[in-house]
Structure 1
Amino acid sequence: MSEVFITVAPTGAESGYDDNPGIPLQPDEIVAQAVASERAGASLVHIHGRDRSGASSLDRGILTEIMHGVREHTDLVVQLSTGGGVRDSFEDRMAVVGLQPESCSLTCGSVNFGDEIFRNPYPFVERLYLAMLENDVLPEFECFDLGHVATLHRLLDRHGPPRQGVVHCNLVMGVPGGMPGTPEALLAARAQLPAGASWSATGIGRSTLPVMLTTLALGGHLRVGMEDVLRFSRDEPVRDNAQLVDRAVALARIAQRPVLDSTATRALLGLSR
């Protein structure tokens, strides 16, 4: 079967030490866990910023510090989140693109996010895509529901594909308010993706393993990390992000899908360091 690359998402915008003491909340902790995750087999890192208090932040200085630390100590493909937290402004989210990472996430529509709303109206999504095209930043199209896949097609029809020549999508599954983290939902979403698209899938919480195993069977790429899951099993909290990457590598080997390093991942995504 085809080769697979592994994305690690070390920390998101919501969880803290009370949820799991192993989650990295300081810039240096995020960099250290990125280094360990690369050693375990990850080739791309999805970065959220955290300030000195551990709170979610889109501060350009903090994101630059994390990005430079990752680049200094690893060869990981660097992807910055333009999602931030659900309360971040559109302008602060837009500004992330100007930091010139290799890739940025681009969420393709609004979604109920637990008790809140992650707002991504189409005019903002379109502006964000155009900014990525202008800055030669590869978008990773984040699709939380089938309607988001339709928005992806709308963007491509109106503005064409990314300049790297690769359409890469991440199907985010199991968020309360989004599509469920089930094999059936994954099959339906994958069937609607653009022909020839590169894709990965993310299972949130207890959907992590069903989504990962289905993705491996269908030929997709993997995303794991403490942004998405804080328990390794029913009785065991996640120790750190490298533990999740280790499991993904082991399952990929069982599925006989060789794991790509960062150089091969860049080639697949049309990127150059």
Structure 2
Amino acid sequence: MSASTPRPGSHGTIVTVAPTGAEHAKADVPNLPVTLDELVSTAKDCERVGAAMIHVHIRGEDTKPSLDLGRLKDTVAALRAETNLVVQLSSGGAVTDPEEHRLRVLEAMPDSASCTMGTVNFGDDVFMNRWEFVVELHKRMRERGIVPEYEIFDLGQLTSLHRLLDKHGLPAGGHVHVDLVMGVPGGMAGDTETLAAALRLIPEGATFSATGVGRSSIPVMLASLSAGGHLRVGMEDTISYARGERVKDNAQLVARASGLARIAQRPPLSPDEVRKLIGVQQSG
């Protein structure tokens, strides 16, 4: 699909918030939401200012990243009870999490889950995603009716996505949605040229969001909006709002993204509009 081809949903913008992640320590980032109460409060604030989807990593009592299934189920239930957001769980966890724990995330039955399309150097670590694991994740999501968001950290992973779809068919919901994660040390650059190159490789009819990590946050947002794409922002990906200014909270980042979407005359889509666009079955 060329960068000039209109995409479904191009009249509006999916704004996803990724509030926590697995990289930042609470001791270093005191305003990072790590408890369930903090996460729900953050979700409600972000929904009010334009977020339609939340990309969730959870933490344990020790504030460290966790894939505890009971906590995941409680988190999904609380977010559904308190917000109308599309609930997307990370199947990536932390780089040290074993595959079986990452697959078990799906038992919490979120609306959506991430599916990273390959292994990538992640700073000083390696984020391992073997082909067999990716295929298993794709199949289990389809069996459960969970819509995948295919996480792309480098251009070759889009080639792998074509291979996955050709060999194993469309995902649950029948629509392909990808997130271009840009600016990770070890992955693709967070700039307009790289985003344009990625668009030439995105499957026909797919929609895409883009995530700019760190200082690439604003350039990636602007590039994505200009190309008909959607946005993911949040403290998982950046804790700086501007040079020398720390992020106040996740809602601050969502408000900026929503404002830019309106300037681009593609205002934030509602959660129900996003469900329809990416093929999420209405819960309940």
- For the aligned pair, the TM-score class normalised by the smaller chain equals over 0.9
Instruction: Give distance in 2, aligned partners of 1:132 and 1:151.
Output: 18
Instruction: Give distance in 1, aligned partners of 2:102 and 2:140.
Output: 11
Q: Give runs of aligned pairs for residues 170-189 of structure 1, distance below 5 A.
A: 170-189=179-198
Instruction: Give distance in 2, aligned partners of 1:234 and 1:21.
Output: 19
Q: CA deviation at 1:270?
A: 1.5
Residue type matched to 1:71 in 2?
R
User: Aligned pair 1:138/2:147, yes or no?
Assistant: yes
The SS at the match of 1:41 is coil
Name the counterpart of 1:252.
261
The SS at the match of 1:46 is strand
Name the counterpart of 1:79.
88
> What RMSD in Å do the two structures reach over aligned CA positions?
0.9
Aligned pair count reads 273
Instruction: Give distance in 2, aligned partners of 1:233 and 1:21.
Output: 18
TM-score by length of 1: 0.98
* Greater mean alpha carbon deviation, residues 11-20 or residues 187-196: 11-20
Name the counterpart of 1:101.
110
Instruction: Kindly provide the CA deviation profile for residues 89-140 of structure 1, in whole angstroms up to 9, marking residues without a partner as x.
Output: 0000000112111100000000000001000010111111111111111010
Give the percent of matched residue pairs that are identical in Structure 1 and Structure 2. 51
TM-score by length of 2: 0.94
Residue type matched to 1:34 in 2?
A
Question: Structure 1 regions of 5+ residues with no counterpart?
Answer: none
Instruction: Give distance in 2, aligned partners of 1:102 and 1:183.
Output: 31
Q: Give runs of aligned pairs for residues 16-55 of structure 1, distance below 5 A.
A: 16-55=25-64
Instruction: Give distance in 2, aligned partners of 1:266 and 1:225.
Output: 20
Instruction: Kindly provide the CA deviation profile for residues 230-266 of structure 1, in whole angstroms up to 9, marking residues without a partner as x.
Output: 0000121001100000000111111111211111111
The runs of 4+ residues in structure 1 deviating greater than 4 Å are none
The SS at the match of 1:153 is helix
Matched-pair contact (CA < 8 Å) for 1:19–1:230: no
Matched-pair contact (CA < 8 Å) for 1:171–1:202: yes
Instruction: Give distance in 2, aligned partners of 1:93 and 1:259.
Output: 31
* Greater mean alpha carbon deviation, residues 64-73 or residues 205-214: 64-73
Name the counterpart of 1:214.
223
Matched-pair contact (CA < 8 Å) for 1:20–1:238: no
The SS at the match of 2:266 is coil
Name the counterpart of 1:152.
161
Query: Residue 78 of structure 2 is aligned with which of 69, 86, 110?
Result: 69
* Greater mean alpha carbon deviation, residues 20-29 or residues 213-222: 20-29
